[in-house]
Structure 1
Amino acid sequence: MTFRSLTCLAAILALASCSSLRSPIVPGAVPKDHGAIGATEGPAWKDGSLYFTDGKHINRRGPDGKTTVFRHNASNGLLFDREGRLVACESGLRRVTRTEKDGRITVLADRFEGKRFNTPNDLCMDSKGRIYFTDPRYGSREGMEITASFSACSPIGSVHGKMPIENVYRIDGVNPVMLMLSGSGLSGLDRPNGILITPDDRHLYIADNNNNTRGGSRKLLRYTLDENGNVKLGTRKVIFDWKDGRGPDGMKMDAAGRIYVAAGTNKATEYETTRFKAGCYILSPSGRLIDFIPTSPDECCNCAFGGNDGKTLFITSGGHLWSVPLK
């Protein structure tokens, strides 16, 4: 590489670095509330339509603004693959599926080592088309099949047993399901929720959100991946901490490397305060808070880029759909 090429590359990297620290919101823009249309989770954009879930179904909001049911009995994280097929975490049915172009449903994964998943929550895809997904369990722990052995000391001696765990997995062509990270306090991870992989496949971001346990983790974590897409040991880094508030949920990353994290709540619970209000927290790659987009009525759950030019941020919050234009 010539000196001139190196100089140009340095200039490009410096410009990208500066861009990642500036607010991407159009000056004077106000978040628009599209109403209580059941926009709880999801969302994903394709061909002029926004797809999202209401806890029971996948809905489609078309270019005319009307919402219809796209698929029954499916919920939570969504994404479209490079062939335009919808990949979904179906929490209720404890599986990850793909809706083919002809409407058939392909089950990509529903078990790990013969045991059913907890409740697959959110997913992302790397440049090789491999799917990373989280498998937490909120609410009742009944029926959790995936466990890990543990040992602990007590006044009467050592205690040994098995405990249910909440992990991060990857689906790829050779080995259908691979364990990437162990949760439930193992590997420095408590309860994985949202998940994001950087475009260069170098870093994996995990929303560690144990928000229905007093003192549970509410942190955005970052792990470094090796050339095979596996997590490097000892690379866990806390990017942002929501402390005793409602922690991070779904998230996305823009071309400048800024991270958009749905988090916070406007309604305190037994386990959550309103220290961090509901909305989208825009962070630099290193975790600096750049800007904040408020939403209502209560908790903010997920977000996605869309619009004809890809420069509109859609946010699901308390059953309402919000949007804001970006630069």
Structure 2
Amino acid sequence: MKAVRTVAMLALCVLNADVPLNAADAAAVFPDGAKLELLWSDGEFTEGVASSPQGDIYFSDIAGKTPGRILKFDPKTKTTTVHCADSKKSNGLTFDLQGRLIACCGAAGGIQSVCEVLDSGELKPLVSEFEGKRLNAPNDLDIHPRGWIYFSDPRYGGPEPIEIDHLSVYRFDPRTGDVVRVTRDITKPNGVALSPDASTLYVAETDNGFPEVPGAGSGGGKVHMTLNAFPVDRHGNLGERRILKDFGKETGVDGLTVDSEGRIFAAVRAESRFGIGVYDSTGRELAFLKTPEVPTNCGFGRGDDGSTLYITAGKSLYRIPTESRGWFLTGQTVP
């Protein structure tokens, strides 16, 4: 596998002067003088940051005319290698309770499934249908302590027929194979992340107004760009939606993650101000990190690297030190 070495360091602006923020809140997120480091920039459209139990950083590169790939960055050697040369249009990535890499694989030539990525780099589909109909294009995911996989299933492109009448978030139980639709009140879900205590599921609604989806309320140029919170009960069902932030007509959040204190780190793609927005559980903005390229996702490292935030943006992978630590499942399920 061909390795690509780190190439540069870039200065950053942690706060945006146009938005009034509490300096103490911002200082609690990003240390003074922190710099954004460019790690890799040979991609086409990077996505889906995930830190392995061993501390390696995996991310997707979604190519336009090829199947895409999954890459692995080694924080110790600062090298990037190809882990999966044909990722079937993988997007969001995460590691489950057993340490397996799980990927959302989309449309436009992908396999429209949630898959396990084997050590060999091959993909093993786990769920491809809902009620006998093909999934639209699984996009992002997170794992509940009980082992359930919550994943979003929007559609942003691709010639494949749209079989399901809604763009939803689903809960998949790998032990039973059961797939349950858990949202209908947002029109196009994108990034998803659970709070550290798994009592809240955060969902980005990133509806750009097309394509038309029968029954979904998506299409016709109607734009819905919100960051939402749903309470999660002991059975994994979601309660009433709470809108944390409405981005209006500008593009909203793509991927997101949470730190150990429950703060939300979100990849904001707004045309007037794009970067990583940091919010508390009520949606109050605590800090904003401007990025050189429009971001798609973010996630923390592990172990000694647990305070480092990794960011996919444009065709690149970046990182920056923080005053936070990421939150990860311990490998033990709750009763």
Q: Do they superpose with TM above 0.5?
A: yes
Aligned amino acid, residue 292 of structure 2: S
Which of 305, 308, 314 aligns to 2:310? It is: 314
Quote how far apart the aligned CAs of 1:32 are: 1.8
- 1:23-34 → structure 2 map (5 Å cutoff): 23-34=28-39
Partner of 1:89: 104
Partner of 1:209: 206
Q: Distance in 1 between matches of 2:209 and 2:32?
A: 36
User: Which secondary structure does the structure 2 equivalent of 1:144 belong to?
Assistant: coil
CA 1:34–1:262: 2 relative to 1, 3 Å: same
Quote how far apart the aligned CAs of 1:101 are: 4.7
Q: Distance in 1 between matches of 2:243 and 2:29?
A: 23
Q: Distance in 1 between matches of 2:225 and 2:41?
A: 27
Quote how far apart the aligned CAs of 1:110 are: 0.5
- 1:1-327 → structure 2 map (5 Å cutoff): 23-38=28-43, 40-46=46-52, 47-55=54-62, 56-62=68-74, 63-74=76-87, 75-91=90-106, 92-101=110-119, 105-140=123-158, 142-147=160-165, 165-172=166-173, 173-182=175-184, 187=185, 189-212=186-209, 214-232=221-239, 235-265=240-270, 274-275=271-272, 277-297=273-293, 299-306=294-301, 308-327=304-323
User: Which secondary structure does the structure 1 equivalent of 2:282 belong to?
Assistant: coil
Contact persistence 2:85–2:121 (CA under 8 A): no
Quote how far apart the aligned CAs of 1:45 are: 1.4
Aligned amino acid, residue 39 of structure 2: H
User: Which secondary structure does the structure 1 equivalent of 2:42 belong to?
Assistant: strand
* TM-score for both structures, normalised by structure 1: 0.79
Contact persistence 1:36–1:321 (CA under 8 A): yes
C-alpha distance after superposition, 1:193-234 (max 9, x if no partner): 0001112221111100013554411100111121111012xx
When Rg is computed on C-alpha atoms for both structures, the one with the higher figure is 1
Q: How many residues align?
A: 275
Q: How much identity, in percent, do the aligned residues show?
A: 36
Quote how far apart the aligned CAs of 1:37 are: 3.1
* TM-score for both structures, normalised by structure 2: 0.77
Quote how far apart the aligned CAs of 1:131 are: 0.3
Quote how far apart the aligned CAs of 1:178 are: 1.3
Q: Answer with 207-216 or 92-101: which moved more.
A: 207-216
Partner of 1:159: none
Q: Distance in 2 between matches of 1:212 and 1:293?
A: 27
User: Which secondary structure does the structure 1 equivalent of 2:286 belong to?
Assistant: strand
- Output the aligned Cα RMSD: 2.0
Q: Distance in 1 between matches of 2:187 and 2:96?
A: 28
